Structure 1
Amino acid sequence: MAQSEEQVPNQDEFWLFGYGSLIWKPPPHFDRRIPGWVTGYVRRFWQASQDHRGTPTAPGRVVTLISHEYWSTLTDDPHPSPPDNKVWGVAYRIEAAHVEEVKEYLDIREINGYTIHYTPFHPASELHPDRTSTTSPSGGASDEEVLSRGQHPIKTLVYIGTPDNDQFVGPQDPQQLAEHIYKSQGPSGLNRDYLWGLERSLEELCPESGDEHVRDLMEKRDVRREEHEQHGAFARRGSVNEVRRSVRVG
C-alpha cells in the first residue's frame, strides 16, 4: 500500500484500525479512540473463525477487509460496496511504552488467518462521545488537534484476512451465511453475538457509519431467530399435549 510522508506517525505513536470486534472490544493500553473510516475496501463476513466464534470442526464467520480491486472482479456478491467507498471503524492510539505488549496481544488475538497491513485512516469530523481522553500523559496531540489536520490521514496498522489465506471462504448466499452465523459458537462466545455487537457498534459511531452487508445479515438472523423461537414454542406445546394425552390414557 502506498504511504505518503503525511501518513507516517511520530516515533512514539502506534495507531490501530479496528473494523470488527475491536470496535467494541478494544485492545489494552489505548489512550485515544477516534471514529472514522478507511477507503479502498469492503467489509465482509468471509473469514472462517476456528479459534473465537467457532471451532476447527465447525468454524464460525467473522469479518475481514476485501480490497475493492479484488471485490470488483466478483460476480456473486449481492451486497454493494459501501457509500463513498468508506469502511467505518475506530482508530486506537497506543503509547510507546506498551507498543510491543499490544502487538503481541494482537498477534495472538488475530492469529487465525490474519496478516498485518497498513492503511490511511480518515478521522471523522466529529468526535465520538465515548472517547477516552483528549491528551495523553506524554503530552501528545489532542484528539481535536488530530482531527484538525483536515486532509491528512493517520497511518494505521490493520489485520486483514486476505483471499489467499486458508480461512478465507469468499462470497456466500446471505441467508445461508446468516443461518451459519446463528448456529455457530466458539471459545469467545456465540457467533450471532459477534454479528449483533458489530451492527450495534457501527450504528453508535455516527448516522452514516452503518454497513449494508452487516445490516442485511442481522435482519436475516432476526428472521432465523424468530423461526427458531416459534419452532421451539411449537415443540414445547407438542410435548405438553403428549403429556396430557398420556395422563388421560393412564
Structure 2
Amino acid sequence: MNDFWVFGYASLMWKPGFDHVERRRARLHGYHRSLCIISLEHRGTPERPGLVMGLDRGGSCVGVAFRVAGKDREPVLAYLRERELVTNVYLERIGSVTFECGGKAPALAYVADRRHEQYAGRLEVDEAVERVCGAVGGMGPNEDYVINTAEHIRTLGIRDHWLENVVAGIRKRQG
C-alpha cells in the first residue's frame, strides 16, 4: 500500500495521536479553519453547548500535513475515525494540499458537515465569545480549548485574525 497524507488544522496539528513518518506545513485549498462546530460532550453539554474547530467550505487553511506509511493505513484510519467521527459532524474528504516547501498532494481531512445539527455556521466574534465562555465539557472548559488552539496555531507561525479576536474577547470577559 502507498503512503498517504492527513491534514491537521487544530489539535491534530500538535497532538496527532497516530504514527507518521513526516510532517510538513501545508495549505489545504477549498476550506478554512472555523469555530463552527457545536460541542455537546468534549467542550460543552446539551444544556450549555460549547464550540470547537471545523474546516468549513471556502478559502484555504494553513495547517500541518502528516505522511503516514502505507503499512499503517488501517490502524491510523481506525484511530482517526474514532476520534473525529464520534457524532458524524465531520465528513471524511480528500483535499489538495500545497506544501510550504513546494509540491502538492492529496490529503485526508475531516470537514464540517453543514447539514448536521451541530454545525453552527459562520459566527460573529461576539457571538462566538458568548457561546464559548462558561461552556464546560468532559475535556474541560471551552475557553481553555479556544485559547490553547490559538496559542498553538500562533506558535506554528500561523496567523488567524478572527480566532485571535475571539481569544481577545474571551480574555476580556475573564477580566
* Counterpart pick for 2:100 among 100, 120, 124: 124
Higher CA-based Rg: 1
Corresponding residue of 1:105: 79
Corresponding residue of 2:28: 38
What CA distance in whole angstroms lies between the structure 1 residues aligned with 2:161 and 2:170? 14
What CA distance in whole angstroms lies between the structure 1 residues aligned with 2:20 and 2:138? 25
What CA distance in whole angstroms lies between the structure 2 residues aligned with 1:108 and 1:50? 17
The structure 1 segments of at least 4 consecutive aligned residues displaced by more than 4 Å after TM superposition are: none
| SS at structure 2 position matched to 1:183 | coil
What CA distance in whole angstroms lies between the structure 2 residues aligned with 1:121 and 1:179? 33
* Counterpart pick for 2:11 among 21, 26, 44: 21
TM-score, normalization by structure 1: 0.64
Count of paired positions? 173
Would you tell me which structure has more helix in proportion to its own residues? 1
- Cα deviation, 1:185-210, whole Å, max 9, x if unaligned, reads 2122221122112211221222xx21
Structure 1 residue 157 displacement after superposition = 0.2
Give the partner amino acid of 2:95: T
- How large is the RMSD of aligned CA atoms in angstroms? 1.7
What CA distance in whole angstroms lies between the structure 2 residues aligned with 1:28 and 1:43? 21
Further displaced range: 170-179 or 213-222: 170-179
Corresponding residue of 2:160: 211
Corresponding residue of 1:115: 91
Would you tell me which structure has more strand in proportion to its own residues? 2
Asked whether 1:49 is paired with 2:23, we answer no
TM-score, normalization by structure 2: 0.90
Structure 1 residue 166 displacement after superposition = 1.9
Structure 2: gaps spanning 5 or more residues:
none
What CA distance in whole angstroms lies between the structure 2 residues aligned with 1:101 and 1:58? 34
Corresponding residue of 2:2: 12
What CA distance in whole angstroms lies between the structure 1 residues aligned with 2:26 and 2:152? 13
Corresponding residue of 1:58: 48
User: Within 5 A, what are the aligned runs for 1:145-156?
Assistant: 150=102, 152-156=103-107
CA contact (8 A) 1:24 1:197 kept: no
Percent of paired sites with the same residue = 28
